[in-house]
């Protein structure tokens, strides 16, 4: 069968919910403030945090209480952003008030994206359980807007479904920040760029899902949102609500190639952008886009493009 893998399209296990209406009064804030970058980096992460009440702390986060004297960002008081703020409400409800003029409702799956120098208030309903993740970041690349240009699509708030993969990305950011390793700042910056892309794709996916999108167009959106993942044609067909055999036929009739070949082409086209970046090894690119290894990536690339990725990189290297 022409599938990439048998891994599911999405994690079937929902984010853990409070089983009892009884809410713990204690609100826990765990935020890690990062030191300034010691060398020029594209995106510089300044803090990662989670605020939670009525739920157990996320995996790998074993310390409760307000760390490093950090003040809650979601307590209803007025705050001003120094860097970009990207928040995600895993559970709970609340409101965002921006510049004391506009108010936006927040619910499970809501994204809050605010640029530097934004005055805001986020009031979370503290009579119910909630879990809100946040990351702040800046750097020369954000000032010049050479990366994360799609972040404007999330301003000031956007809606996704509850996304376990987004939650895992935030939890990974927390784990890396807590590790305090020498490469933490660089790894966090790269992960933030991927997080922004994932959220934008998830927002697009939900908007298309709630519209009158055809199964084939819906499938294209799903593939675009999962270029870094390993999913099967059966999984995609299931998400579109069409039997796999019918989905394969419709896709080939409308697109001209099988869904598997189309998905591979999308991965390769996206990988070409990374190939133009000097110093990024093939192994890292292959891993990023879900190929078994760099040799598998090279074989697929040569079949689709007509030359090896090393040859293509040499001819298309950015100066």
Residue from 31, 19, 12 nearest 129 by CA: 19
Integer CA distances (angstroms), 8 to 16, 144, 238, in order = 19, 38, 11
Which of 3.40.720.10, 3.40.50.720, 2.60.120.10, 2.40.30.10 is the CATH number of 28-186?
Answer: 2.60.120.10
Q: Where are the domains of the chain?
A: 28-186, 212-316
- What is the CB neighbour count within 10 angstroms for residue 225? 23
Given a contact cutoff of 8 angstroms between Cβ atoms, the answer to whether 131 and 55 are in contact is yes
Q: Is the peptide bond before 156 cis (omega within 30 degrees of 0)?
A: yes
Query: Tokens representing 298?
Result: 């090279």
Q: Are 126 and 103 in contact (CB under 8 A)?
A: no
Look up the CATH architecture of domain 212-316. Orthogonal Bundle (1.10)
User: How far does CA 145 lie from the centroid of its chain?
Assistant: 18
Q: Are 138 and 46 in contact (CB under 8 A)?
A: yes
- Tokens in use for 281? 């090894």
Q: What's the gap between Cα 309 and its chain centre? A: 27
How far apart (Å, rounded) are the C-alpha atoms in residues 257 and 261? 6
Per-residue pLDDT at 17? 41
Whole-model pTM above 0.85? no
pLDDT score of 195:
95
Say which residues have a Cβ less than 8 Å from residue 84's Cβ, sequence separation at least 6: 113, 114, 115, 116, 136, 137, 138, 142, 151
**How many alpha carbons lie under 13 Å from residue 62 in its C-beta half-sphere?**
2
What pLDDT score does 257 carry? 93
**Sign of the alpha-carbon dihedral angle for 69, 75, 78, 83:** positive
Give the model's pLDDT for residue 206. 83
Cα 172 to Cα 185: distance, rounded to the nearest angstrom: 13
The pLDDT score that the predictor gives to residue 10 is: 33
What is the greatest pairwise CA distance in the chain? 63
Residue with tokens 């946040």: 134
Topology match between the domains 28-186 and 212-316: no
Q: Report the distance separating Cα 185 and Cα 200, nearest Å.
A: 23
Helix (H, G, I), strand (E, B) or coil at 78: coil
14 contacts 40 by C-beta, under 8 angstroms: no
At residue 38, the pLDDT reads 73
Q: What is the pLDDT along the chain (319 residues), one digit of tens a residue?
A: 344 433 333 333 344 443 434 444 477 888 999 888 777 778 999 999 999 887 544 444 444 444 444 578 898 899 999 999 999 999 899 999 988 778 999 999 999 999 998 999 999 998 888 999 999 999 888 887 777 777 888 889 999 988 889 999 999 999 999 987 777 888 899 999 999 999 988 888 887 677 656 788 878 878 887 887 778 898 888 877 788 888 999 999 999 999 999 999 999 988 888 888 777 889 989 988 888 889 999 999 999 999 999 999 888 876 5
Identify the three-state secondary structure at position 124.
strand
Tokens 């796999």 correspond to: 244
What pLDDT is stored for residue 70 in this prediction?
Answer: 59
């Amino acid at each position: 069968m022409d599938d990439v893998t048998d891994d599911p399209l999405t994690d079937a296990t929902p984010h853990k919910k409070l089983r009892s209406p009884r809410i713990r009064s204690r609100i826990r804030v765990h935020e890690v403030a990062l030191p300034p970058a010691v060398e020029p980096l594209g995106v510089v992460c300044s803090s990662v945090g989670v605020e939670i009440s009525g739920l157990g702390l996320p995996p790998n986060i074993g310390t409760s209480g307000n760390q490093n004297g950090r003040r809650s960002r979601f307590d209803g008081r007025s705050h001003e952003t120094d860097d970009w703020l990207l928040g995600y409400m895993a559970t709970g409800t609340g409101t965002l008030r921006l510049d004391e003029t506009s108010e936006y409702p927040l619910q499970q799956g809501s994204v809050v994206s605010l640029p530097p120098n934004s005055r805001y208030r986020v009031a979370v309903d503290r009579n119910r359980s909630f879990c809100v993740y946040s990351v702040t970041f800046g750097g020369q690349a954000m000032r010049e807007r050479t990366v994360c240009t799609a972040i404007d699509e999330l301003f000031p708030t956007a809606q996704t479904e509850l996304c376990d993969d987004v939650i895992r990305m935030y939890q990974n950011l927390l784990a890396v920040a807590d590790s305090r390793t020498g490469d933490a700042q660089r790894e966090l910056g790269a992960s933030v760029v991927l997080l922004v892309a994932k959220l934008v794709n998830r927002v697009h996916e939900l908007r298309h899902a709630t519209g009158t999108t055809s199964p084939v167009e819906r499938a294209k959106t799903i593939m675009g949102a999962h270029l870094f993942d390993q999913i099967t044609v059966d999984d995609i067909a299931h998400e579109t609500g069409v039997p796999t055999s019918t989905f394969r036929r419709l896709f080939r009739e409308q697109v001209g190639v099988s869904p598997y070949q189309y998905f591979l082409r999308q991965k390769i086209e996206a990988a070409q952008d990374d190939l133009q970046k000097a110093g990024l090894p093939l192994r890292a690119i292959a891993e990023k886009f879900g190929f078994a290894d760099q040799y598998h990536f090279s074989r697929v690339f040569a079949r689709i493009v007509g030359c090896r990725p090393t040859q293509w990189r040499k001819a298309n290297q950015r100066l």
